[in-house]
Protein backbone atom coordinates (compact mmCIF):
# COMPACT_ATOMS: atom_id res chain seq x y z
CA UNK A 1 0.00 0.00 0.00
CA UNK A 2 2.77 2.46 0.80
CA UNK A 3 2.72 5.28 3.30
CA UNK A 4 -0.40 5.85 5.38
CA UNK A 5 -2.43 8.95 4.59
CA UNK A 6 -5.05 10.54 6.81
CA UNK A 7 -8.51 10.48 5.22
CA UNK A 8 -10.08 13.29 7.26
CA UNK A 9 -8.67 16.31 9.06
CA UNK A 10 -11.05 18.28 11.29
CA UNK A 11 -11.05 22.02 11.86
CA UNK A 12 -12.23 24.02 14.88
CA UNK A 13 -15.93 23.70 15.71
CA UNK A 14 -16.51 20.95 13.13
CA UNK A 15 -18.59 17.95 14.19
CA UNK A 16 -16.74 14.64 14.38
CA UNK A 17 -18.73 11.84 12.78
CA UNK A 18 -18.18 8.20 13.58
CA UNK A 19 -17.82 7.48 9.83
CA UNK A 20 -14.89 9.89 9.43
CA UNK A 21 -13.28 8.81 12.71
CA UNK A 22 -13.63 5.09 11.87
CA UNK A 23 -12.27 5.78 8.39
CA UNK A 24 -9.04 7.23 9.79
CA UNK A 25 -8.65 4.37 12.27
CA UNK A 26 -9.50 1.71 9.64
CA UNK A 27 -6.79 3.08 7.31
CA UNK A 28 -4.13 2.57 10.00
CA UNK A 29 -5.62 -0.74 11.18
CA UNK A 30 -5.68 -2.23 7.67
CA UNK A 31 -2.15 -1.05 6.86
CA UNK A 32 -0.59 -2.47 10.02
CA UNK A 33 -2.45 -5.78 9.68
CA UNK A 34 -1.04 -7.07 6.41
CA UNK A 35 -0.18 -4.21 4.10
CA UNK A 36 3.07 -2.81 5.51
CA UNK A 37 5.84 -2.77 2.91
CA UNK A 38 9.19 -1.15 2.18
CA UNK A 39 7.58 2.30 1.77
CA UNK A 40 6.51 2.20 5.45
CA UNK A 41 10.03 1.64 6.81
CA UNK A 42 12.46 4.53 7.20
CA UNK A 43 15.82 3.91 5.48
CA UNK A 44 17.49 4.78 8.81
CA UNK A 45 15.33 2.35 10.83
CA UNK A 46 18.35 0.08 11.61
CA UNK A 47 16.20 -3.03 11.98
CA UNK A 48 18.30 -6.00 13.12
CA UNK A 49 18.69 -8.70 10.47
CA UNK A 50 17.72 -11.37 13.02
CA UNK A 51 14.22 -9.84 13.11
CA UNK A 52 13.70 -10.17 9.35
CA UNK A 53 12.59 -13.38 7.65
CA UNK A 54 14.07 -13.61 4.16
CA UNK A 55 12.57 -15.55 1.28
CA UNK A 56 13.86 -18.98 0.29
CA UNK A 57 16.15 -17.33 -2.26
CA UNK A 58 17.77 -15.21 0.47
CA UNK A 59 19.10 -11.72 0.08
CA UNK A 60 22.18 -10.62 -1.89
CA UNK A 61 24.95 -12.75 -0.37
CA UNK A 62 27.76 -11.18 -2.35
CA UNK A 63 29.70 -9.98 0.67
CA UNK A 64 29.16 -6.42 -0.47
CA UNK A 65 26.84 -3.71 0.77
CA UNK A 66 23.74 -5.78 -0.05
CA UNK A 67 24.57 -8.82 2.05
CA UNK A 68 27.19 -11.00 3.63
CA UNK A 69 29.20 -13.99 2.47
CA UNK A 70 27.78 -17.43 3.19
CA UNK A 71 30.02 -20.03 4.81
CA UNK A 72 29.45 -23.47 3.30
CA UNK A 73 29.93 -26.47 5.55
CA UNK A 74 31.22 -29.58 3.80
CA UNK A 75 32.88 -32.87 4.75
CA UNK A 76 35.24 -35.50 3.39
CA UNK A 77 34.44 -39.03 4.45
CA UNK A 78 36.80 -42.01 4.52
CA UNK A 79 36.13 -45.67 5.30
CA UNK A 80 38.83 -48.16 6.25
CA UNK A 81 37.33 -51.66 5.93
CA UNK A 82 38.35 -54.56 8.11
CA UNK A 83 41.19 -54.65 10.60
CA UNK A 84 43.94 -52.33 9.43
CA UNK A 85 47.59 -52.37 10.31
CA UNK A 86 49.57 -49.20 10.89
CA UNK A 87 49.80 -47.84 7.35
CA UNK A 88 49.21 -44.83 5.12
CA UNK A 89 46.74 -44.31 2.28
CA UNK A 90 44.08 -46.80 3.43
CA UNK A 91 41.02 -45.30 1.74
CA UNK A 92 40.07 -43.29 -1.33
CA UNK A 93 41.86 -40.01 -2.07
CA UNK A 94 39.43 -37.12 -2.47
CA UNK A 95 40.51 -33.96 -4.29
CA UNK A 96 39.83 -30.62 -2.57
CA UNK A 97 37.78 -28.58 -5.06
CA UNK A 98 38.04 -25.11 -3.48
CA UNK A 99 39.97 -23.29 -0.76
CA UNK A 100 38.69 -24.70 2.52
CA UNK A 101 39.50 -24.79 6.22
CA UNK A 102 39.39 -27.93 8.36
CA UNK A 103 37.30 -27.44 11.51
CA UNK A 104 36.66 -30.90 12.98
CA UNK A 105 37.74 -34.50 12.58
CA UNK A 106 35.58 -37.40 13.80
CA UNK A 107 36.16 -41.14 13.84
CA UNK A 108 34.09 -44.21 14.61
CA UNK A 109 35.35 -47.80 14.90
CA UNK A 110 32.81 -50.62 14.75
CA UNK A 111 35.28 -52.74 16.73
CA UNK A 112 36.78 -50.87 19.68
CA UNK A 113 40.53 -50.96 20.17
CA UNK A 114 41.71 -52.52 23.42
CA UNK A 115 45.03 -52.34 25.22
CA UNK A 116 45.92 -49.05 23.52
CA UNK A 117 44.26 -46.22 21.62
CA UNK A 118 43.39 -46.19 17.92
CA UNK A 119 44.90 -43.15 16.17
CA UNK A 120 43.85 -42.08 12.66
CA UNK A 121 44.54 -38.97 10.65
CA UNK A 122 43.79 -37.13 7.43
CA UNK A 123 46.94 -36.33 5.50
CA UNK A 124 47.34 -33.77 2.69
CA UNK A 125 49.44 -35.58 0.07
CA UNK A 126 49.88 -32.47 -2.08
CA UNK A 127 51.19 -30.27 0.75
CA UNK A 128 53.01 -33.19 2.46
CA UNK A 129 51.48 -32.42 5.86
CA UNK A 130 49.03 -33.76 8.44
CA UNK A 131 45.67 -31.97 8.35
CA UNK A 132 44.27 -33.42 11.60
CA UNK A 133 44.57 -36.40 13.91
CA UNK A 134 41.93 -38.02 16.12
CA UNK A 135 42.38 -40.62 18.87
CA UNK A 136 39.77 -43.21 19.83
CA UNK A 137 40.56 -44.23 23.41
CA UNK A 138 41.12 -47.90 24.22
CA UNK A 139 37.72 -49.63 24.64
CA UNK A 140 35.99 -46.65 22.98
CA UNK A 141 34.36 -46.46 19.56
CA UNK A 142 34.04 -42.73 18.88
CA UNK A 143 36.14 -39.59 19.05
CA UNK A 144 36.05 -36.03 17.77
CA UNK A 145 38.62 -33.26 17.74
CA UNK A 146 38.53 -29.63 16.64
CA UNK A 147 42.31 -29.32 16.89
CA UNK A 148 43.76 -29.02 13.39
CA UNK A 149 47.47 -29.47 12.63
CA UNK A 150 47.25 -27.72 9.23
CA UNK A 151 43.70 -26.54 8.68
CA UNK A 152 44.16 -24.72 5.35
CA UNK A 153 43.32 -26.72 2.23
CA UNK A 154 43.93 -25.43 -1.29
CA UNK A 155 41.93 -26.28 -4.40
CA UNK A 156 43.56 -29.32 -6.00
CA UNK A 157 45.04 -30.79 -2.81
CA UNK A 158 44.69 -34.59 -2.54
CA UNK A 159 43.82 -36.12 0.84
CA UNK A 160 44.32 -39.59 2.30
CA UNK A 161 43.44 -41.51 5.48
CA UNK A 162 46.23 -43.03 7.60
CA UNK A 163 46.27 -45.26 10.69
CA UNK A 164 49.17 -44.53 13.02
CA UNK A 165 48.15 -46.83 15.91
CA UNK A 166 45.59 -49.65 16.04
CA UNK A 167 45.40 -50.81 19.68
CA UNK A 168 47.60 -53.45 21.32
CA UNK A 169 45.30 -56.32 22.38
CA UNK A 170 42.53 -55.90 19.81
CA UNK A 171 42.93 -53.57 16.86
CA UNK A 172 40.17 -51.09 16.17
CA UNK A 173 38.41 -52.12 12.96
CA UNK A 174 35.98 -50.92 10.29
CA UNK A 175 36.80 -47.26 10.77
CA UNK A 176 34.81 -44.29 9.49
CA UNK A 177 36.67 -40.99 9.41
CA UNK A 178 35.15 -37.59 8.62
CA UNK A 179 36.92 -34.28 8.10
CA UNK A 180 34.50 -31.35 8.37
CA UNK A 181 35.53 -28.18 6.50
CA UNK A 182 34.19 -24.71 5.83
CA UNK A 183 34.33 -22.86 2.55
CA UNK A 184 33.59 -19.15 2.24
Angle CA 139–144–147, to nearest 5: 130
Q: Cα separation of 56 and 60, whole Å?
A: 12
Q: Write out pLDDT tens, residues 19-57.
A: 888 888 888 888 888 777 777 777 788 888 777 766 555
Q: Which CATH superfamily is domain 72-183 in?
A: Nucleoplasmin core domain (2.60.120.340)
Q: Check residues 138 and 59 and name the one with the higher pLDDT.
A: 138
pLDDT band at 82 (very low <50, low <70, confident <90, very high): very high
Domain layout of the chain by residue ranges: 72-183
Lowest mean pLDDT of 36-50, 90-104, 125-139, 160-174, name the range: 36-50
Q: Check residues 109 and 68 and name the one with the higher pLDDT.
A: 109
Amino acid sequence: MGTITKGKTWVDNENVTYTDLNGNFDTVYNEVNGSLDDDNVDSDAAIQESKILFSATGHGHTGGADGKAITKNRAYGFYIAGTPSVANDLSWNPRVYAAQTGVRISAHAQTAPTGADLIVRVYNITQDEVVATVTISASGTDATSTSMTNASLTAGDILRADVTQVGSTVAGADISLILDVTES
